[in-house]
Amino acid sequence: MKHNFGAGPCILPQEVFKQASAGVLNFNDTGLSILEISHRATEFIAVMDEAVSLVKELLNVPEGYSVLFLQGGASLQFAMVAMNLLGEGQTAAYLETGMWAKKALAEAKILGNVNVVATSKEANFNYIPKDYSIPADSAYFHVTSNNTIFGTQMQSFPQSPVAMVSDMSSDIFSREINVADFGLIYAGAQKNIGPAGATLVIVKDEILGKVYRQIPSMLNYKTHIEGESMYNTPPVFSVFVSMLNLRWLKAKGGVAQIQIENEAKAKALYTEIDRNPFFKGTTAVEDRSKMSVCFVMENPDHEKAFLKLAEEKGCVGIKGHRSVGGFRASLYNALPITSVHVLVDAMQEFEEKFKN
């Protein structure tokens, strides 16, 4: 059995894989595959509608927001956010907390001015800056809620005088959030929602339409709001499997319940990282991510041997990103706590083997 700690694309529930496979062979008893039916078929429109309503229900999305399933990944949102919200001559505020934040602000710079209100670059992004102010004349304020590569997570969000935009690619649906605090939330599907291909966007309608540039149709949120995410062919399979996964989450008790489980998983792993003399965490303790747990070994020469031991126990996807090194265990919603226990056992076994 494999324990998949991969950062993305990543683990989804086994029962979702089974339902998805069944849909590939015979979708909803139509006698057709989900891969061959028209996206205009009533059966698929029902899938899209259910996916959108599950997002609204699970995150308590208030009135006045639109939920969209788009394409292009979170990376296209870096540009699309600026294209739709950053007018010529305006400045957008960015919190620079990692590689993805850097990429997001680089795209915005193409379209307008960017003000980095704070950065943790000088410390290889091992903490979340907290002392900064957001100018009230900013077009919007952009944050990355979970820094997938560096293993930090915003435990709370600041009061923003302007629309707050968050890249939530790697922690959406992992914990409760107050959508009303945000003007726009986006997330690539492949880290807690479903398979790669779809990108979830939740946008407050009233922040749109205030920029006087020509926006190509496909890059304009309004096109997709009017088209109900069906302006062109949507990523049918990704939306279908995302819907199945959100159904799974709802049946489990929703975001509040999964948050409790995610906290228990993170606690089990960080407790061992702090206890075991062979390992240490890489980030400020108060900013530790509950989704992306980064850790290294006291003696880097041990890393190869530990990786091998963990792999023998079925743990896959734990090699850290090259910019941090060491290890990264992603604890997405579908990862059971029993998998974390296997990893912790491997760490303890390593300690036994190599001590003195």
Least Å from the CB of residue 110 to ligand PLP: 17
Among 144, 153, 166, 174, binds ligand PLP (CB under 6 A): 144
Q: Binding string, 147-186, against ligand PLP, x = CB under 6 A? A: -x------------------x-xx----------------
Task: Exactly one of 167, 248, 287, 290 is catalytic; name it.
Answer: 167
Residue with tokens 């398979």: 195
Name the nearest CA neighbour of 285 among 132, 155, 190: 155
Residue 105 CB burial class (10 angstroms; 0-12, 13-18, ≥19): buried
Of 266 and 347, which has the nearer Cβ to ligand PLP? Answer: 266
Half-sphere CA count of 303, side-chain side, radius 13 A:
15
Question: Does 100 interact with ligand PLP (rule: CB under 6 A)?
Answer: yes
Alpha helices of 86-175 — where are they, by DSSP H? Answer: 99-111
> Does the CA dihedral 52-55-60-62 come out positive or negative?
negative
Least Å from the CB of residue 168 to ligand PLP: 8
Question: Does 281 interact with ligand PLP (rule: CB under 6 A)?
Answer: no
Among 6, 188, 254, 320, binds ligand PLP (CB under 6 A): 188
Segment 50 to 79, residues that bind ligand PLP, using CB under 6 A:
73-75
Alpha helices of the chain — where are they, by DSSP H? Answer: 14-25, 42-58, 73-85, 99-111, 221-226, 236-252, 254-275, 303-312, 337-354
Question: Does 197 interact with ligand PLP (rule: CB under 6 A)?
Answer: no
Task: Exactly one of 171, 191, 248, 287 is catalytic; name it.
Answer: 191
Task: Exactly one of 100, 171, 287, 290 is catalytic; name it.
Answer: 100
Amino acid, res. 224: H
Q: Which residues contact 302 (CB under 8 A, 6 or more apart)?
A: 278, 350, 354
203 forms beta bridges with 66, 184
Q: Which residues contact 106 (CB under 8 A, 6 or more apart)?
A: 78
CA distance 107 to 278: 40
Segment 256 to 275, residues that bind ligand PLP, using CB under 6 A:
none
Structure tokens at 314: 């079925």
Secondary structure of 163-220 in the HEC alphabet?
A: CEEEECCCCCCCCCCCHHHCCEEEEEHHHCCCCCCCEEEEEEHHHCCCCCCCCCHHHC
CA distance 213 to 220: 11
Of 116 and 342, which has the nearer Cβ to ligand PLP? Answer: 116
Is residue 191 annotated as a catalytic residue, yes or no?
Answer: yes
Q: How many residues bind ligand PLP (CB under 6 A)?
A: 12
Of 152 and 160, which has the nearer Cβ to ligand PLP? Answer: 152
Question: Running DSSP on this structure, what letter comes out for residue 292?
Answer: E
204 forms beta bridges with 65
What does the binding site for ligand PLP look like in residue numbers (CB under 6 A)?
A: 8, 73-75, 100, 144, 148, 167, 169-170, 188, 191
Tell me which residues are annotated as active site: 100, 167, 191
